[in-house]
Chain A
Amino acid sequence: MIKDYINIPWKEIRRRKVRSWLTLIGIFIGIATIVSLITLGQGLENAIEGQFSALGKDKLFITPKGGTFGMGSSEVLTEDDLDVIRQTSGVKRAAGMGTTIGRYEFNDIVRYNFVAGIPTPPEERALIGEAQTWHIEKGRSIEQGDKYKVLLGHEYTQTGQFEKALDLGGKININGIEFKVVGFLEKIGSPPDDKSGFIPLDTYAELYNKENELGYIIAQTQVDEDITKVADAVTKNLRKQHNVDKGKEDFVVETPEQLAATFAVILDIVQIVLIGIAGISLLVGGVGIMNTMYTSVLERTKEIGIMKALGARNSHIMALFLVESGIYGLSGGLIGAVIGIGFAKLVELVFIIAVGPAFLSIQIDGTLILGTLLFSFLVGCLSGIAPARRASKLHPVDSLRYE
């Protein structure tokens, strides 16, 4: 019985191939967009979570309020703040660094990229290195006693910045001072990081006139300490140091989880907006199905009359047309899901080529696909209701006479 109610509409869809395909395009563009956005969004979220958990779960990030990683803020942290943090119970060690935009000049070309001042004591430098998840590709890191030495990001081993790659021992001019290149970092994956240069904190303070100004402080907790409690203690002590009331802090203390959550929220908002737009295209697709179905009802008026003469009830006619629009929805969803996943996989491939493997990994979510198919089937059926009702209400005599 069900087979017949699929067979008849299916033959009808195949009779009008061009129109059917045009109708399907309307649906599958929307579905493909939604599927690829959700899949990519999940992949990105996983990637960000992965990055943050690589930072280690025992680290606190302290920044002036209003800026992330010390950028875009009038407030600053000082060496005194660093001392307060170090003396807070539960904190094992802490290190501060500064970040600004520097003027890089090499091979007569000028570029403006990040410059970071990092502490030279090995203990503190190691903490920064861990928290930044970087690894030395060649050469060495900044060491105690270094003055005009620079550790450069991966990008400088390429020709993209200055048409010429830099070498170990080479010289690069940063804000008018000549620095000697002591090492290069492995590729991190984010272009701003890979274009950064790292110089000793003292040199940084001198060069940019940022004496006693720290852009951001990293604190590592003692083993077995509850990071949330330590974060609270640090907040309390800094509040006292800055002489501010609760809720009016001019600094922010965050754990990796909190940072990850912040990014996840931003990502979610972006995703919701994009999916909303894709939803509109799906709505347009639904209207396309409705239009096709109305045309179909009109063209098949006589057939409807014949079927009614042969004993078809209104509900039979209704079912035939609903199944037809449902098939449009479902096939559109199927094609859309395949294209959407294909596109997400393509983006993954691009990331693998550009950034390296294991940054963005796309998971195919069965629930998502099932849900999408169900949803597109529903869109098809809903779009078909009004035309199907019109078909079922046709008068047998009038429609038989229709040519």
Chain B
Amino acid sequence: MKPLIELKDVWKTYYLGENVLNVLKGINVTIEKGEFVVIIGPSGSGKSTLMNQVGVLDIPTKGTIFLDGIDISTLKESELAQLRGKKIGFVFQQFNLIPTLTALENVILPSIFQNTPEVKRVARAKSLLTKVGLGDRMDHKPTELSGGQQQRVAIARALINDPEIILADEPTGNLDSKAGEQVMDMLAQLHTDEKKTIILVTHDTNLVDYSEKTIHIKDGVIESISGGKLAHKNNRR
């Protein structure tokens, strides 16, 4: 079976005046369908840049990325956006909800860009919000919600187009430990119950407990890949 995501010798180089900054230096990673992967590394290690490549938000300077067998460098910008919206759900550290929209409207937003029929997407958004425990907060604006609640809205939003991959960038970074744990449990549940592929980017070594595969990155190169299929099931709690 083809891997869901495959990075082959991926380089990302920034040119700052005369300085050439290699943020990623020949990354080779494969992520299988249904895996729970943690990408871990200190700040400045290139893990955010790596996440941008994996999430097809950016294209590498050199190297190839296959998403579901498609070489993303062959896609036009608009096709890339379409693919991203369909295949990947993002959860950010800053929650990144649109402040003018209600919780429900925020959840619906990605499905508007996929041209999902209105009746269908409203129903799905409502059921997702109920599932994350915010059935009574649908008409609240982000500013009227706590951090934990906002992140749960973001998770519901990530799921609206039923993507195969959830890409979470420091999802617990702005939350207290209780809310953080709630969010992590939710991601774990999506992995076990709905067989979603979860990619978690973090510097928090405690979160490694949840993963089946941990990719350690430092100075733009992969230091090690550890963890096995059962790591998360055995180590949790």
A12 at the interface (CB under 8 A from B): yes
Kindly state the separation between the CA atoms of A8 and B90 in the bound complex, as whole angstroms: 21
Is the beta-carbon distance between B58 and A303 smaller than 8 angstroms?
no
Is the beta-carbon distance between B101 and A307 smaller than 8 angstroms?
no
Distance in Å: Cβ of A347 to nearest Cβ of chain B: 41
Is the beta-carbon distance between A309 and B57 smaller than 8 angstroms?
yes
Is the beta-carbon distance between A4 and B112 smaller than 8 angstroms?
yes
A149 at the interface (CB under 8 A from B): no
Is the beta-carbon distance between B78 and A315 smaller than 8 angstroms?
yes
Which residues of the other chain, A, contact B100 by a CB distance below 8 angstroms?
A: 8, 11-12, 14-15
Is the beta-carbon distance between A313 and B58 smaller than 8 angstroms?
no
Interface centre among A8, A302, A303, A311 (most CB of B within 10 A): A311
Distance in Å: Cβ of A395 to nearest Cβ of chain B: 8
A157 at the interface (CB under 8 A from B): no
27 contacting pairs across A/B (C-beta < 8 A): A1-B112, A1-B115, A1-B118, A3-B118, A7-B105, A8-B100, A11-B101, A14-B100, A306-B92, A307-B109, A309-B57, A309-B84, A309-B90, A310-B85, A310-B109, A311-B81, A311-B110, A311-B161, A312-B81, A313-B77, A313-B78, A313-B81, A313-B113, A315-B78, A316-B113, A396-B57, A396-B58
Per-residue B-contact encoding for A305-347, CB less than 8 Å = 1, 0 else = 0111111111110000000000000000000000000000000
Is the beta-carbon distance between B57 and A310 smaller than 8 angstroms?
no
Kindly state the separation between the CA atoms of A239 and B29 in the bound complex, as whole angstroms: 104
Which residues of the other chain, B, contact A303 by a CB distance below 8 angstroms?
A: 98-99
**B residues adjacent to A (C-beta < 8 A):** 52, 55, 57-58, 77-78, 81-82, 84-86, 90, 92, 96, 98-101, 105, 108-110, 112-115, 118, 157, 161
Which residues of the other chain, A, contact B78 by a CB distance below 8 angstroms?
A: 313-315
Which residues of the other chain, A, contact B92 by a CB distance below 8 angstroms?
A: 306, 400
Kindly state the separation between the CA atoms of A315 and B135 in the bound complex, as whole angstroms: 33
Given A1-B118, A11-B100, A313-B82: 11 more A-B contacts, CB < 8 Å:
A8-B98, A12-B100, A15-B99, A302-B96, A306-B98, A310-B113, A313-B77, A314-B81, A396-B58, A397-B57, A400-B96
Closest to A16 in B: B100
Name the contact of A311 in the complex, choosing from B77, B86, B105, B118 (C-beta under 8 A): B86
The 8 closest A-B pairs by CB, nearest first: A311-B85, A11-B100, A310-B110, A313-B78, A311-B113, A313-B81, A306-B96, A396-B57
